[in-house]
C-alpha cells in the first residue's frame, strides 16, 4: 500500500490520523514500503506522490506511524533514486514540528541525506536554507556544528583586493557571480555565505568554530573548476556582501578572545565575610603554622638532651 492510494492531501489532519489508525488496526504494517522502497515517512514528503501536504496533516500521519514502531531512520537513502532520509525531507519542507517529532523518536541529527556520494547533514541543509528554528532544534538534539560536507551554492568570487588574503588561484577575469562549491563546507560557512545572521548566531552559541576555513571552488560549467580559494565564515560573508553577518561573526571572535584574556567575573568577588575576615583567617593560619614549627623545634631540643 502506498500513500497515494489514501489521497492524503484531500483529508483533514484528524481524518488522516483516523485513516492510518484504521489501516494499522486492520493489520497494515507501518514499516511497509512502496515499489521503490520508500517507507511511509518518505512517501509523505515525495512530490511525485503528493503535490503539497499541509504541515499539520504530515504531523498527524507521522505521529501515528511512529507510535506503532516506525523509526525515522529505518529507510533507504539512495541518491540515484532521488530521495533522502525522512528528517532531511522534512527540513526541505520547512516542517519544524515534524523535524522535532523525528528527533524525539530517535532520528540521528547527524545522519547524512544519502548513504553515498555527495552527502549533506541535516544541519548543513537547514543552515544553507536559513532555517534558524530548525537549526536550533537539531543542535538541541546533538547535531555537530562543525561537521563539514560537500556542498554547492551560488555567490560571487572574491573581489580583486581580497584575493591575496584568501589564496585565490584562477583566471583574473573570471566571472563575478556564479555557481560555487566546497568539498568541506561547514554549516557556519553556508549560513554566512547566505547572509543568515540569526542562523550564524545560534551556531556560534552552540560551539561552531568561526576560524575553520574551507576550500571553495567556482565553476564556469558543469563540474569545471575555474578558480579556488580558502575562506573562513567571516570572509565568506564579506565576499557575498553580507556586512551585518560578517560583523556578527567578528564580534563573536572578539568577545571570545576577550573572555580568554580576562579573568572570570567571579574572580573579582570578595571572599566570604569580606577581605578583613579573609586577612584574619590568613593570620590565624600563619600563627598556627608557626606554633607547630616552634613545638617541633622544642621537641627536638628535648630529645637531644636525652
What is the per-residue pLDDT for 1? 47
Lowest-confidence region among 61-65, 84-88, 297-301: 297-301
Q: Does the pLDDT at position 145 exceed 90?
A: yes
> Mean pLDDT throughout 205-218?
97
**Average per-residue pLDDT in the chain?**
84
Q: Residue 249: is it exposed, middle or buried by C-beta count within 10 angstroms (0-12/13-18/19+)?
A: buried
| Range(s) of the chain covered by CATH 1.25.40.20 | 1-117, 120-288
CATH homologous superfamily of domain 120-288? Ankyrin repeat-containing domain (1.25.40.20)
> Mean pLDDT throughout 3-18?
68
What confidence category does residue 170 fall into, taking pLDDT thresholds of 50, 70 and 90? Answer: confident
C-alpha 39/C-alpha 92 separation (Å) is: 17
What is the per-residue pLDDT for 5? 46
Residues 184-197: tens digit of each pLDDT: 999 999 999 999 99
What confidence category does residue 295 fall into, taking pLDDT thresholds of 50, 70 and 90? Answer: low
The kind and range of the H/E element at 74 are none
Lowest-confidence region among 74-83, 124-133, 138-147: 74-83
3-state secondary structure 104-164: HCCCCCCCCCCCCCCCCCHHHHHHHHCCHHHHHHHHHCCCCCCCCEEEEEEEECCCHHHCC
Residues 254-288: tens digit of each pLDDT: 999 998 888 666 666 666 666 666 667 776 776 67
What confidence category does residue 169 fall into, taking pLDDT thresholds of 50, 70 and 90? Answer: very high
What is the per-residue pLDDT for 105? 96
What is the per-residue pLDDT for 197? 99
Tell me the backbone φ, ψ of residue 124, rounded to 5 degrees. Answer: -60, -40
Of the candidates 93, 95, 124, 89, the one whose C-alpha atom is nearest the C-alpha of residue 194 is: 124
How far CA 306 is from CA of 33, 299, 300, 302, in Å, comes to 97, 11, 10, 7
C-alpha 26/C-alpha 2 separation (Å) is: 15
What is the per-residue pLDDT for 53? 75
Q: Output the nine-digit C-alpha cell for 193.
A: 555565505
Written out in words, the top-level CATH class of the domain with range 1-117 is mainly alpha
Query: Percent of the chain scored above 90 by pLDDT?
Result: 50
Q: Which residues contact 226 (CB under 8 A, 6 or more apart)?
A: 170, 171, 174, 175, 217, 218, 219, 220
Amino acid at each position: 500500500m502506498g500513500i497515494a492510494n489514501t489521497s492524503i492531501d484531500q483529508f483533514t489532519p484528524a481524518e488522516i490520523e483516523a485513516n492510518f489508525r484504521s489501516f494499522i488496526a486492520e493489520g497494515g504494517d507501518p514499516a511497509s514500503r512502496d515499489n521503490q522502497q520508500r517507507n511511509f515517512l518518505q512517501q509523505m514528503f515525495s512530490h511525485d506522490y503528493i503535490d503539497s501536504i499541509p504541515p499539520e496533516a504530515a504531523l498527524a500521519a507521522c505521529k501515528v506511524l511512529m507510535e506503532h514502531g516506525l523509526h525515522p531512520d529505518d529507510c533507504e537513502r539512495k541518491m540515484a533514486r532521488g530521495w533522502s532520509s525522512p528528517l532531511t525531507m522534512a527540513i526541505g519542507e520547512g516542517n519544524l514540528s515534524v523535524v522535532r517529532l523525528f528527533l524525539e523518536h530517535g532520528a540521528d541529527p547527524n545522519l547524512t541525506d544519502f548513504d553515498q556520494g555527495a552527502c549533506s547533514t541535516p544541519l548543513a541543509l537547514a543552515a544553507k536554507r536559513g532555517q534558524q528554528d530548525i537549526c536550533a532544534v537539531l543542535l538541541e538534539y546533538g547535531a555537530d556544528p562543525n561537521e563539514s560536507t560537500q556542498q554547492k551554492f551560488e555567490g560571487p568570487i572574491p573581489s580583486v583586493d581580497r584575493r591575496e588574503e584568501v589564496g585565490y588561484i584562477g583566471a583574473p577575469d573570471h566571472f563575478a557571480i556564479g555557481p560555487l562549491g566546497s568539498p568541506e563546507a561547514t554549516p557556519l560557512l553556508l549560513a554566512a555565505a547566505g547572509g543568515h545572521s540569526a542562523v550564524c548566531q545560534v551556531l556560534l552559541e552552540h560551539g561552531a568554530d568561526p576560524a575553520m576555513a574551507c576550500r571553495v571552488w567556482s565553476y564556469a560549467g558543469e563540474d569545471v573548476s575555474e578558480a579556488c580559494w580558502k575562506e573562513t565564515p567571516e570572509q565568506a560573508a564579506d565576499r557575498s556582501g553580507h556586512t551585518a553577518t560578517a560583523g556578527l561573526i567578528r564580534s563573536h571572535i572578539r568577545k571570545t578572545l576577550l573572555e580568554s584574556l580576562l579573568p572570570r567575573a567571579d574572580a573579582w568577588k570578595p571572599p566570604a565575610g569580606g577581605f578583613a575576615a579573609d586577612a584574619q583567617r590568613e593570620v590565624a593560619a600563619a600563627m598556627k603554622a608557626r606554633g607547630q614549627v616552634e613545638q617541633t623545634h622544642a621537641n627536638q631540643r628535648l630529645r637531644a638532651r636525652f
